[in-house]
Amino acid sequence: MRNLLFTITYDGTNYHGWQIQENALTVQEVFQNAFKKVTGDRGDMKACSRTDAGVHAREFCVSVKTESKILPERFSAAMNHWLPEDIAVRGCKEVPPDFHARYSCKGKEYSYEIWNNPIREPFLRGRALHYWYPIDEKKLNEAAGYYVGAHDFTSFCTLDRRETGDMTRTVTKAKVERRGDMVAFTVAADGFLYNMVRIMAGTLLKVQEGKLMPGDIPGIIGARDRAKAGPTAPAPGLYLNKVFY
């Protein structure tokens, strides 16, 4: 039995996230079907994360235990032959037997992208949030800086049965920057709670609206109360950028 690590990228527009669901098409289902066509079995797959419906991934990792003898360097082309155009394998390598795409992960980086122009951009439909009022990226960058550090992020989590135990996460980077009409919030951490990045982004937009001040962020974190933070920003603006091992 071999353990292979696949690095993939996908446009999540047409999928209900990564994890297999009943009566909904997911990236995992499509990936497993392609893997079966290549190897004859579905393999034992472990993903680095569970992305929500409509969320995209520039880098997403999947470890697969399989008895297939196909060389890692040939797997990419074989998988991409069967995958649809909105999913692609970027690389494959053999990893130790105890490697797990999720539990071996040391951290992840996400970005939330906002098209900041009075006129919508049709080519970004489903790929960025359209926000037509002017954004002060310097003000939002100041607010984002308060996310950095080890904090209990209960205020920035949609609570359900998925989230139990320690809610502390260590954020190593949080910044807002503008690239023309695109404003991007980028955040890296050793782990993320359910909807954490989207709630962080929604809270920054509350700062932009003047309903919160940058200096309010520490109090929101300290409250450990979801009601104190901003809304959950829509899924299509969210990208998983990097996975760290």
Q: Measuring CA to CA, which residue among 135, 115, 132 is closest to residue 124?
A: 115
Angle at 87 between CA 86 and CA 89, to 5 degrees: 145
> DSSP class of residue 52?
P
For residue 102, which amino acid is it? R
Identify the active-site residue in 52, 98, 152, 216. Answer: 52
Could you confirm whether 152 is annotated as catalytic? no
Structure tokens at 155: 């205020």
- Alpha-carbon dihedral angle through residues 189, 194, 197, 199, given to the nearest 10 degrees: -140
Helices 27-39 and 72-82 meet at what angle, rounded to 10? 120
Please answer whether residues 114 and 184 qualify as being in contact, where contact means their C-beta atoms are separated by less than 8 angstroms.
Answer: yes
* Catalytic residue IDs: 52
